[in-house]
Amino acid sequence: MTDDRKRMGSLSKTRYRNLKQYKEMSDPEFDTMWDQMNQGIKVDASFEKRIQHKMNEFSDDYDVDDLKINDKLTLRALAQAYITLEDYEAYSYNVRQPGISLDRMIEIEKMNSIMSSLRKDISSMQTDLNITRKVRKGDKEQSVISELERLKSKAKEFYRERMLYIYCPECKMLLFTGWFHYSTEKSNKIQLVCKRILDSGEYCNTKIQVNINDLLEEKRGINIDDVPEAMK
């Protein structure tokens, strides 16, 4: 009987859960580990630490907080696959160091086949979790586009709030947009004549005089109430 299983006999699951090396585990991870230990499968604490470290790296780059249980298990399997691939790559490097012989070539070929299979599994799990580099890049681009649209909308709103709009009260043509340094000065006025050519071929010739202070305080920056829909 292993030391871990002997210890299980003396500690309840709850007390075992509170041991220092298992406190950082999620409940599903601990339950899996507990089941494995009950079945006599030895759990290597150092390997668990490597898995947790790799999963922490994923959480730094991707949003994994809202993953469901099946996605969390896939993420754990992805972390293990990365670790296994790293180990194989390190071992393959060490095998090649003394030089290439026929025996080593056969061993390296087998390892390359295993590593190729691991990379395919990693790519498949990344796709299942929707965290491939392509998707991440797309998300970032979409985020930038959304932010630009938000800034454009705020700029447009700011412009509308600051600008004064003067329309011809007869033909509804927009004659002026602008702002004034001394908009609260009651003596400041603006006079305009509408020179829009009507369907009859004649000029509108409507004269408009607007007090700037009144336009701001009473009309909210627009001199007419029935603004054309196309101008809104």
Residues 129 and 203 in one domain: no
Tell me whether residue 86 is in a domain: yes
Tell me whether residue 150 is in a domain: no
Residues 23 and 117 in one domain: yes
Residues 129 and 65 in one domain: yes
Tell me whether residue 7 is in a domain: yes
> In this structure, how many other beta carbons lie within 10 angstroms of the beta carbon of residue 5?
13
pLDDT tens digits for range 199-226: 899 999 999 998 888 887 767 788 888 8
Tell me whether residue 145 is in a domain: no
Residues 170 and 130 in one domain: no
The residue among 137, 172, 203 that closes a domain is: 137
* Domain tally, the chain: 2
* Mean pLDDT of all residues in 13-33: 70
Residues in contact with 142: Cβ distance below 8 Å, sequence separation at least 6, in sequence order: none
Residues 13 and 124 in one domain: yes
Residues 175 and 109 in one domain: no
Tell me the whole-structure pTM to 2 decimals: 0.42
pLDDT tens digits for range 5-19: 444 444 567 776 776
Alpha helix ranges (H) inside the chain: 3-10, 13-17, 27-38, 45-61, 69-96, 102-129, 133-162, 212-217
Tell me whether residue 200 is in a domain: yes
pLDDT tens digits for range 68-86: 878 888 888 899 899 999 8
By residue range, what is the domain housing residue 85?
A: 3-137
